[in-house]
């Protein structure tokens, strides 16, 4: 290995979709700055490197490690511990690492159902109804694959995390700003935020950045956006469209509401929000325009899947983390 | 005969949120009047049931409560004009979300009690405790996420 004086950069993916990687590449020519200022030592999606290469490194040798993805199996957890040990700055990068995101929705269901869905439903060609087994005896020896955990965990439920960078995926301009900041900090020209801070995002809510007009919210009926002719100027929640803006961290410039879609909450809980879904329960229910229990119930029927609506990105990172069904692997 | 784990009845832990102006005083009234009710409910006083952030309820369950009681002034009697109506609206939504999480809606109870209704408060609390006892322990923090992985699938030979 040649000696390289540049600080080292790593990026890893666990239970995630790969969108965070694409978001990093979407910083366009700024990626050349990454290359100019860092030596990329480990990035499975972009380059060939082996776990053994990382194991050989000194502790703290990697300066900046962006981790995306939740902890779904024992391999994820093993690499999380490994990269924690080898990295100076470990960033929980993207919604999956921070709060579980879409892979975390599996925490609603017993893991058996999750596996069955993956291996038996109509989109899977599996005529012999096979399932993966963690270890299998071959004439040549035992072969193994990672063992699935019953519930998905967030990165900080497994290892100590230095910074959180939310978003599904984090906005590219935010990534570019964070990379600029780290480069400036390495050159001694800027200071890194305190440990545990959320970086690359705002401190307020999506509503705060949203340009739509707001009046008084009085909801007589919840509707789904695809079945509604929504006023393009008016607050979506005011029109009865479940928009997660009130609880969601700012930082995306309210992209979805500006494009005519409701906020689905990918930037996670806003500053000071301990449980994202609880904040939305308060926000949505309080503005129901009725004092009669039966009518309230009827209006609430318009929210077809409230837990899915409120914890779409946040289930694994919420106070309850996983449903009883997932915890006990039974219905 | 000493109680063994098998013979000892399950004693639920219930977190109760009360409103300063009505239901807390109802509980007080029950105490002053020497009415007895089971000691399973740990009461917390809020200024208003409308102050109840749903997060309190989720935190109670996540922290090991078997059930949660939310109580406040009767609709129309709120010290803060209409904040208990917000509780009235949030309550069914909390129950719906809890049901999806596998927590029986009956583990969350809403009780209106005025300051003079000590007897009603005591009776309802007793009834609630028996209902929760029948449901059994929730054991939220003893199941799941900390349990190390077992193979999550049945072995089907290739």
Go through the domains of chain A in sequence order and give each one's CATH number.
8-100+154-186 (3.40.50.700), 206-325 (no CATH)
Q: Which residues contact B48 (CB under 8 A, 6 or more apart)?
A: B19, B20, B21, B72, B78, B79, B80, B83, B84
Nearest CA in chain B to A317: B145
Nearest-Cα distance to chain A for B25, in Å, is: 25
The residue whose two tokens read 């009047």 is B33
Q: How confident is the model at residue B1 (pLDDT cuts 50, 70, 90)?
A: very low
Q: Is residue B45 part of a domain?
A: yes
- Is the CB of B4 inside 8 Å of chain A's CB atoms? no
B107 and B94 Cβ atoms separated by less than 8 Å: no
Q: How confident is the model at residue B9 (pLDDT cuts 50, 70, 90)?
A: confident
- Is the CB of B1 inside 8 Å of chain A's CB atoms? no
Least confident of B26-35, B101-110, B142-151: B142-151
A299 and A293 Cβ atoms separated by less than 8 Å: no
Candidate from B62, B94, B101 with C-beta closest to A281: B94
B125 and B16 Cβ atoms separated by less than 8 Å: yes
pLDDT at B158: 42
Quote the CA–CA distance of B97 and A308 in Å, as a whole number: 9
Q: Is residue B4 part of a domain?
A: no
Give pLDDT < 50 ranges for chain A: 1
Q: Is residue B102 part of a domain?
A: yes
What is the token pair recorded at B6? 């098998």
- Calculate mean pLDDT across residues B3-20: 85
| Interface contact flag, A278 B57, Cβ < 8 Å | yes
Collect all residues of chain B within an 8 Å Cβ-Cβ radius of residue A131.
Answer: 153-156
Q: Is residue B106 part of a domain?
A: yes
Q: Which of B46, B72, B78, B100 to mutate to test the interface with A (most CBs of A within 10 A)?
A: B100
Please state, rounded to an integer, the average pLDDT across all residues of chain B. 89
Q: Is residue B47 part of a domain?
A: yes
Q: How confident is the model at residue B8 (pLDDT cuts 50, 70, 90)?
A: confident
Q: Which residues contact B79 (CB under 8 A, 6 or more apart)?
A: B19, B20, B21, B22, B48, B73
CB pairs under 8 A between A and B: 146
Helix %, strand %, coil % of chain A (to 5): 35, 15, 45
pLDDT at B2: 54
| Cα-Cα-Cα-Cα dihedral sign, residues A270, A274, A277, A280 | negative
Collect all residues of chain A within an 8 Å Cβ-Cβ radius of residue B86.
Answer: 282, 285-286
User: Looking at chain B from residue 20 to 59, which residues have their Cβ under 8 Å from any Cβ of chain A?
Assistant: 53-55, 57-59
Nearest CA in chain A to B103: A324
Helical ranges in chain B per DSSP H? 23-32, 54-62, 83-100, 118-135
Q: How confident is the model at residue B4 (pLDDT cuts 50, 70, 90)?
A: low
pLDDT at A1: 45
End-to-end CA distance of chain B: 56
Collect all residues of chain A within an 8 Å Cβ-Cβ radius of residue B70.
Answer: none
| Interface contact flag, A285 B145, Cβ < 8 Å | no
Tell whether the model's pLDDT for residue B146 goes beyond 60.
Answer: no
- The three-class DSSP label of residue A325 is helix
Q: What is the pLDDT of residues B58-94, one digit of tens each?
A: 999 999 999 999 999 999 999 999 999 999 999 999 9
| Interface contact flag, A286 B89, Cβ < 8 Å | yes
How many domains, chain B?
1
What is the token pair recorded at B80? 């803060």
pLDDT at A304: 94
| Interface contact flag, B58 A150, Cβ < 8 Å | no
Nearest CA in chain B to A298: B92
Collect all residues of chain A within an 8 Å Cβ-Cβ radius of residue B15.
Answer: none
Quote the CA–CA distance of B57 and B108 in Å, as a whole number: 9
- Is the CB of B156 inside 8 Å of chain A's CB atoms? yes
Q: Is residue B8 part of a domain?
A: no
Q: Is residue B50 part of a domain?
A: yes
pLDDT at B3: 53
Nearest-Cα distance to chain A for B9, in Å, is: 23
Q: In percent, how much of chain A has pLDDT > 70? A: 99
* CATH assignment at residue B107: 3.40.50
pTM to 2 decimals?
A: 0.92
ipTM of the complex: 0.93
Collect all residues of chain A within an 8 Å Cβ-Cβ radius of residue B94.
Answer: 281
* Domain extent for B35: 14-140
A110 and A328 Cβ atoms separated by less than 8 Å: yes
Dihedral angle computed from the Cα positions of residues B139, B142, B143 and B145, in that order, rounded to the nearest 10 degrees = 140
Collect all residues of chain A within an 8 Å Cβ-Cβ radius of residue B158.
Answer: 128, 130, 136
Q: Which of A70, A107, A285 to mutate to test the interface with B (most CBs of B within 10 A)?
A: A285
- The three-class DSSP label of residue A93 is strand
Chain centroid to CA A216: how far? 32
pLDDT at B148: 40
- The three-class DSSP label of residue A32 is helix
Burial A103-119 (b: 16+ CB within 10 A, else e): bbbbbbbbbbbbbeeee
pLDDT at B156: 44
Q: Is residue B34 part of a domain?
A: yes
pLDDT at A331: 87
pLDDT at A277: 97
| Interface contact flag, B58 A275, Cβ < 8 Å | yes
């Amino acid at each position: 290995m040649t000696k390289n004086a540049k600080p080292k950069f790593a990026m890893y993916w666990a239970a995630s979709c790969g969108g965070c990687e694409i978001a990093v590449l979407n910083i366009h020519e700024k990626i050349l700055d990454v290359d100019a200022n860092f030596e990329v030592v480990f990035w499975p999606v972009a380059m060939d490197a082996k776990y053994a290469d990382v194991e050989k490194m000194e502790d703290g040798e990697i300066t900046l490690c962006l981790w995306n993805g939740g902890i779904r199996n024992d391999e994820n957890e093993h690499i999380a511990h490994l990269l924690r040990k080898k990295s100076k700055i470990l960033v929980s990068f993207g919604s999956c690492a921070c709060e579980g995101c879409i892979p975390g929705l599996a925490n609603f269901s017993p893991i058996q159902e999750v596996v069955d869905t993956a291996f038996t439903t109509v989109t899977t060609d599996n005529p012999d109804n096979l399932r993966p087994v963690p270890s299998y005896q071959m004439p040549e020896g035992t072969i193994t694959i990672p063992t699935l955990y019953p519930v998905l965990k967030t990165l900080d439920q497994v290892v100590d995390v230095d910074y959180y960078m939310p978003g599904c995926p984090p906005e590219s301009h935010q990534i570019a700003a964070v990379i600029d900041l780290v480069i400036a900090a390495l050159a001694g020209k800027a200071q890194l935020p305190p440990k545990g801070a959320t970086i690359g995002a705002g401190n307020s809510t999506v509503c705060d950045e949203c340009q739509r007009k707001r009046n008084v919210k009085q909801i007589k009926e919840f509707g789904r956006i695809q079945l509604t002719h929504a006023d393009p100027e008016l607050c979506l929640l005011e029109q009865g469209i479940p928009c997660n803006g009130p609880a969601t961290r700012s930082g995306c410039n309210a992209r979805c509401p500006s494009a005519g879609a409701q906020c689905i909450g990918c930037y996670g809980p806003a500053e000071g929000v301990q449980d994202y879904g609880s904040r939305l329960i308060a926000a949505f229910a309080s503005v129901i325009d009725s004092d009669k229990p039966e009518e309230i119930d009827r209006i609430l029927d318009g929210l077809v899947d409230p837990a899915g609506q409120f914890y779409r990105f946040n289930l694994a990172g919420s106070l309850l983390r996983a449903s009883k069904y997932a915890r006990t692997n039974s219905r | 005969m000493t109680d063994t784990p098998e013979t000892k009845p399950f004693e639920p832990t219930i977190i109760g949120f009360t409103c300063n102006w009505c239901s807390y005083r109802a509980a007080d009234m029950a105490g002053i009047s020497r009415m007895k009710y089971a000691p399973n409910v740990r009461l917390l006083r809020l200024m208003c049931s409308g102050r109840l952030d749903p997060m309190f309820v989720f935190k109670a369950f996540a922290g090991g409560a078997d059930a949660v009681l939310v109580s406040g002034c009767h609709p129309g009697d709120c010290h803060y004009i209409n904040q208990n109506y917000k509780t009235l609206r949030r309550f069914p939504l909390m129950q719906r979300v809890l049901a999806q999480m596998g927590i029986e809606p009956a583990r969350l109870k809403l009780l209106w009690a005025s300051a003079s209704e000590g007897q009603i408060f005591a009776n309802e609390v007793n009834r609630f405790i028996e209902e929760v006892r029948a449901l059994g322990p929730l054991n939220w923090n003893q199941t799941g996420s900390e349990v190390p992985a077992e193979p999550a699938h049945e072995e089907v030979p290739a």
